[in-house]
Amino acid sequence: MPIPPGRILSYSLVAVPDSRPSPQSASDTAPDVIVVGSGAAALAAALAARLGGASVLILEKSEKVGGTSAMSGAGTWIPCNHHARAAGLSDSPEEVLTYLRAASAPGWEKTEEHLWRAFVEQAPKMLEFVETHTPLRFALVQEPDPQAEKPGGKKLGRMLSPRPLSRRLLGPLAPKLRRSTLPHRFTYQEMTGEDPYGHPVRAAFRLWPKLLSRILTDSAAQGNALMIGMIKGVLDAGCRLELESRVTELIVDAAGGRVEGVEVERNGKRERLTARRGVVLATGGFEWDPELYKKNFPGPMDMIGSPPTNTGDGQKMAAKIGAAIERMDQANVYPLLPTTYEGKPHGMPATFQAHPHAIVVDRTGRRFVSEYDYNIGYELDRRDPATGEVLHLPCWVIADARFLKAPRLFGWYARKRKGWVRTAPTLEALAATIGVPADALKATVERFNGFVRAGRDEDFHRGESVWERYKTHTPGAASNPALGTVEQAPFVAVPLNRSTVGTKGGARTNEKGQVLRPDGSIIAGLYCAGNAMANPIGTRAVGSGTTIGPCLTWGYICGTNLLRENR
């Protein structure tokens, strides 16, 4: 069936170099491939399929392009990458697999190892492919693996992030690029190295020539750069992108065996579109579907940091045609500060709990994790294996007066949610305010203060790991700046429950990105990537960018295999 263009929001660029497949137009009949979504996973799939010779239609339900990926920090975990090699840093697939086995949640190697292998093999190829065919250029970030001490872990070389790009590259589509809650004029490296949240004036002073140049050229870094590059790449390659086009159903052939296309809602009408060679679902997470979210994440939840369009459409459509839906209890759980986005309450990622004069306690008033641990989200979300109920929530950041006095942007964001920060003249009064046993809280604080005075956190070794030393900017120092007493009134409590920037459960796929049924058989013509898939790296992160790197890679895997498998 012919593809009618979306309302006013159908984009394609005309200048296509001779070496590329011939351009598509709105008058094309059924495309070879329909990609659902316009985030990192979707556009990597679209680019790979298009440059493999297929005609590609990208359907995005929002009036904005780029999804969560455009909002992100775009910290990108790609082991064995060519930038690290050029910098003389060694890595090998075997080391990465050793690390994945050691650093992932227990037992995951039993079901995920074949997917890890595919990821490790394809991720470096994807990076070279993306840098060859889009304006995107990545740079190494000076960040270690969060569990660098584990076998196969690395102190440097696996983390990358895009160099800034001008929004002007997108021409008339530029205003449609999804904006972030994060300050995207800064690069990921500048965010982690210069700490503009903690030291805004110092960071602005040091970086002002670069910031000024970026303002003058309307350049952005992080997730906006990632998606400027990917969007420019897919449009230059000749993909068609349609906004405000919500895919509502997968169309299966009469025998019920093969996905042949999609039903899409646009301009107030529903239409059926055929995809000759396959459909890629890359619709992101389901965190904005209250029912699905609550069912899979019981207990208190604080904030969500992704765009409200992530309502689990891909998961629901795949389930409806018999796909195995797995890992629905996994998510990118990260502390968020209150902010507003598109006029509504929202969350912005920030490790605000990692402060010398603050600790995190659970509902019993006890600590259960190092407050500087990258995987604090995994611990906040820890479940009772028998019942699936959360073990620690509700949790609280407990701090002293110095937490509020520090020259940080915390206060600015805290003011956006009335009553979010609670204070009391004593720990007893604070405990009563938040409903935590006062004796236990006092004992926890006393024990922690004792560790601070002795110079060592005997319980959770706060500030000692490679990651935590990097975060306190003291890799070789003898002292431990992560440790400070909690003793000066007024005392402070801030809720620290589960917040998320995206769920990670969905359609179970094989190493080619093909969607599987519960019996392991393949649903022909259907592929899935990114947060819409049963992500082989779950809540327990192995790198600080362990969604964007895999999202791009699984999109690339889908796009390349789709052409091989569906000739």
Contact positions toward ligand FAD, by CB under 6 A? Answer: 36-42, 59-62, 67-69, 71-75, 180-182, 246-247, 282-284, 305-306, 309-310, 313, 332, 349, 501-502, 530-532, 545-548, 551
Between 445 and 548, CB nearer to ligand FAD? 548
Reference 354, options 337, 339, 338, 342; nearest CA is: 337
How far apart CA 504 and CA 539 sit, in angstroms, is: 8
Q: Which is nearer to ligand FAD, 12 or 68 (CB)?
A: 68
Shortest Cβ distance from residue 184 to ligand FAD (Å)? 10
Alpha helices (H) along 265-387: 290-296, 313-320, 376-380
Q: Running DSSP on this structure, what letter comes out for residue 4? A: P
The CB-of-217 to ligand FAD minimum distance in angstroms stands at 23
Strand ranges for 437-541 from DSSP E? 491-495, 498-503, 506-507, 514-516, 522-528
CB of 41 to ligand FAD, least distance (A): 3
Residues recorded for the chain: 567
Intra-chain end-to-end CA distance of the chain, in Å: 19
Closest distance between ligand FAD and the C-beta of residue 354, in Å? 16
Looking at residue 333, its amino acid is V
Question: CB-based burial of residue 221 (10 Å sphere; 0-12 exposed, 13-18 middle, 19+ buried)?
Answer: buried
Instruction: Give the nearest distance from C-beta 362 to ligand FAD in angstroms.
Output: 25
Nearer to ligand FAD, 134 or 531 (CB): 531
CB of 282 within 8 A of CB of 555?
yes
d(CA 354, CA 351): 6
60/373 with CB nearer ligand FAD: 60
CB closer to ligand FAD, 430 vs 537: 537
Query: 31 near 276, Cβ under 8 Å?
Result: yes
Least CB distance to ligand FAD at residue 446 (A): 37
Cα separation, 358 vs 254, whole angstroms: 61
Closest to ligand FAD by CB, 247 vs 482, is 247
Q: Is 502 helix (H, G, I), strand (E, B) or coil?
A: strand
Spatial contact of 557 and 512, defined as CB atoms under 8 Å apart: yes
If the CB atoms of residues 74 and 493 are measured against ligand FAD, the closer one turns out to be 74
Decide whether 404 or 548 has the Cβ nearer to ligand FAD.
Answer: 548
Dihedrals phi, psi of 362, to nearest 5 degrees: -95, -170
Of the two residues 141 and 359, which places its CB atom closer to ligand FAD in the complex? 141
Joined tokens for residue 319:
């389930």
Instruction: Please state, in angstroms and rounded to a whole number, the distance separating the CA atoms of residues 531 and 504.
Output: 5
What are the backbone angles phi and psi of residue 274, rounded to the nearest 5°?
A: -95, 140
Nearer to ligand FAD, 234 or 282 (CB): 282
Residue nearest to ligand FAD according to CB distances in the complex: 39
- Residue 281's φ and ψ, nearest 5 degrees, are -90, 120
DSSP state of 89: -
Alpha carbons 65 and 83: distance in angstroms, whole number: 28
Question: Closest distance between ligand FAD and the C-beta of residue 114, in Å?
Answer: 21
* Minimum gap (Å) between residue 11 Cβ and ligand FAD: 14
Cβ-based nearer residue to ligand FAD, 339 or 472 = 339
Q: Are 536 and 116 in contact (CB under 8 A)?
A: yes
CB of 118 to ligand FAD, least distance (A): 17
Whole-number minimum distance, CB 497 to ligand FAD, in Å? 17
- Residue 304 C-beta: closest distance to ligand FAD, Å: 8
- Distance in Å, CB of 69 to ligand FAD, minimum: 4
Q: Which of 453, 451, 428 is nearest to 439 (CA)?
A: 428
DSSP codes, 260-291: EEEEEEETTEEEEEE-SSEEEE-----TT-HH
Task: Note whether 257 and 76 are within 8 A (CB).
Answer: no
- Considering beta carbons, is residue 505 or 545 the nearer one to ligand FAD? 545
